[in-house]
Amino acid sequence: MIACLRLFTALCLAALLAACASSPSSSLGELPRTPDASIEQLLDQAAKSKTPEQAALLRLSAADLAYRQGNAGQSAQILQQVPVEQLKPGQQVFASTLAAELAMVRNQPKAALTALSHPSLQRLGELPVEQQVRTGTVHARALEADGQTLAAARERIFIAPMLSGEAASKNHEAIWILIASLPTDQLQPTANDDLGGWMGLALAVKTAGTLEQQQAAIDNWRAQNPKHPAAIQLPLPLTKLKELASQPVSKIALLLPQDGPLASVGKALREGFMAAHYQAQQAGQKPPAIEFYDSSRLTSLDELYRKAQADGVQLVVGPLEKPLVKQLSARPQLPITTLALNYSEGEQGPAQLFQFGLAAEDEAREVSRRARADGLHRAAIMVPKGEWGDRVLRAFSQDWQANGGSIVATERVDQPVQLAQQIADMFQLRQSEGRAKSLQSTVGSQVAAQPSRRQDIEFIFLAATPQQAQQIKPTLNFQYAGDVPVYATSHVFSASGDVNQYNDMNGIRFCETPWLLDATDPLRKQVTAQWPQAGGSLGRLYAMGVDAYRLAPRLGQLKALPDSRIEGQSGSLGMTQNQRVVRQLPWAQFVSGQVQRLPDTPR
């Protein structure tokens, strides 16, 4: 009986090892397979193994099984016990791939890329297709998470021919998302290969204006590249575009206040909207008819939509009033697709509601993006006291810290008389003066000491009015902090052309709408000739009106192509998953009483 048990145990162990490893392959070594055993059994057998190679292979199998079961922590612990450098090349590739997958679970793409830089990866092409796909997939994910979009696309294009079924479809769609997210200047095909074809398709879509032009560009590309994977299977977002192009918008309702406290804002938005409409007519397009509705006389949203439907309206642009937008966002659905010209507080509204506005939060995130691109890491913040300042502060802080930045000081600006003290506190100048007095007391004689400021503030994020900025920048100079860069929202710029005011803000960098930074734009010239106020701070509202018109027929496009953008007059426009239009803005700087345009932030 005992002899039978021993024989049975030996047979089980032999089966276990056979299940854990592929057949031997010369110098590459055996690769683990999904075992017919538990993690505990594998580790127990590893501890009893007679050879280090056998033990390492069993532990590698156990680590992989723990990862597949969703236990990344246990997998990492087991993998640490595997002497990777003593493994054969194929096994090293397997271990490095698993290490990369575990790093991605921890959201550490750089660690994943480091794992995949192991010399054994040079022999990946000699391994089974399954391993090549697994390694290539995590490599693509790590490159994408690290911001190396083009390299991630190359990796996915490389593994595409090895895939089939659902995995092939998912990879196909992922390639398009990566390529479509590249800026136009990077979409320059250099070879007549699959990558060049993908780039050519994205370039054709991005450089076409209207939905109809985009559809024509896609059809033309497919005719020229009939054997390309994207021509054989058009990516899903482009299929959706085809459906959208067959349903053009022919009538728009413009819902804005004509009376009350927001009448002047509504007037500027309406004039910008109609200026874009007339420009489209002049260009020979067939723009939709516009029906005007007065939101200041609105008694019921239901009544509005009933009337709009009776009038044949297919899209509502407006309202502007925040309470009305809040009401719309609380509804489960809307009878007509609506582009609200403000934002609700909630995150997600009905599927038919899109939201667009000049949100200060967009600009706060733009400052965060720019400072990161400029290689900065430690910020101090100055915002006004109150609800608006709190919103801007929250938007900047969340984006800045989520991307690895730190905040070393925050001041809320209120009374001008307190400004010097606040800046001194921010830079800890009083502590420096206290040290000098203490030293003077110790040595018993006068000490010549200039106050020194803290050195860990790399830049200041400023959200303030032009009047506040006029006081803040000279005070920084006076408080020995004039060399600290200041990055501001557009609120510091009055667009008044006042050289004296600009001199007081010398050196401040700020984001601003393209409308106010490009006086040579043909539409702006036409508008300011008729309405001179559009060249000043009201110009931001005219720009928003222009963009509302240009967005109206392209909402479905932005939704179908999440990484696409529309280069507008109020900024470069994209859309979030909850259907909010968000802006990225160009940059300028006050230099010797002039506004000097800066290079755009890299995307």
* Across 315-324, average pLDDT: 96
| pLDDT bucket at 163, cuts 50 / 70 / 90 | very high
Average pLDDT, the chain: 87
Calculate the alpha carbon distances from 146 to 137, 142, 173, 421 in Å: 14, 6, 20, 42
User: Above 80 in pLDDT, residue 417?
Assistant: no
Q: How confident is the model over 250-276, as pLDDT tens digits?
A: 999 999 999 999 999 999 999 999 999
Contact 133, 163 (CB under 8 A): yes
| pLDDT for residue 7 | 34
| pLDDT band, very low/low/confident/very high, at 14 (cuts 50, 70, 90) | very low
pLDDT at residue number 233: 94
Q: What is the pLDDT at residue 143?
A: 95
pLDDT at 528: 95
Residue 145: is its pLDDT beyond 70? yes
Report d(CA 588, CA 595) in Å as an integer: 6
The two structure tokens encoding residue 456 = 């860990």
Interhelix angle 89-105/52-68, nearest 10 degrees: 30
For residue 183, name the pLDDT band (cuts at 50, 70, 90). confident
b (16+ CB within 10 A) / e for 53-76? bbbbbbbbbbbbbbbeeeebebbb
What is the residue extent of each domain of the chain?
28-240, 250-355+522-565, 361-512+589-597
Question: What does the pLDDT average to over 465-485?
Answer: 84
Indicate the pLDDT class of residue 444, thresholds 50, 70 and 90: very low
- pLDDT value at position 434? 44
Q: Per the CATH hierarchy, to which homologous superfamily does domain 361-512+589-597 belong?
A: Response regulator (3.40.50.2300)
Q: Is the pLDDT of residue 453 over 70?
A: no
pLDDT of residue 595: 94
Residue 283 above 90 pLDDT?
Answer: no
Say if residue 1's pLDDT is above 60: no
Range list of H helices, 49-192? 52-68, 72-80, 89-105, 109-115, 129-145, 149-159, 165-180
Pairing mode, strands 406-413 and 566-567: unpaired
Higher pLDDT, 27 or 449: 27
Across residues 213-231, what is the average pLDDT? 92
> Helical H runs in 225-313?
229-232, 236-245, 263-282, 301-310
pLDDT at res. 181: 81
Q: Is the pLDDT of residue 17 over 60?
A: no
Which of 457, 531, 469 lies closest to 494, judged by CA? 469
pTM for the whole thing? 0.69
Would you give the DSSP letter of residue 22?
A: P
pLDDT tens column, 53-103: 889 889 999 999 999 999 999 999 999 999 988 889 999 999 999 999 999
Q: Under the phi-then-psi rule, with left for phi > 0, alpha for psi from -120 to 50, and beta for the rest, what region is 208?
A: beta
Mean pLDDT, range 481-506, rounded to an integer: 90
- State which CATH number among 3.40.50.1980, 3.40.50.2300, 3.40.50.11540, 2.102.10.10 fits the domain covering 250-355+522-565: 3.40.50.2300
**In which band, very low, low, confident or very high, does the pLDDT at 331 lie, cut at 50, 70 and 90?**
very high
pLDDT category of residue 436 using cuts at 50, 70 and 90: very low
Q: Which residue in this structure is represented by tokens 């479809």?
A: 169
Q: Is the pLDDT of residue 4 over 80?
A: no
Which of these CATH numbers, 1.10.260.40, 3.40.50.2000, 3.30.450.20, 1.25.40.570, describes 28-240?
1.25.40.570
The two domains 28-240 and 250-355+522-565 share their CATH topology (first three levels equal): no
The answer to whether the bond into 319 is cis (omega within 30° of 0) is yes
Check residue 430 and give its pLDDT.
53
- Average pLDDT in the 12-33 region? 54
Nearest alpha carbon to residue 61 among 37, 83, 85, 93: 37
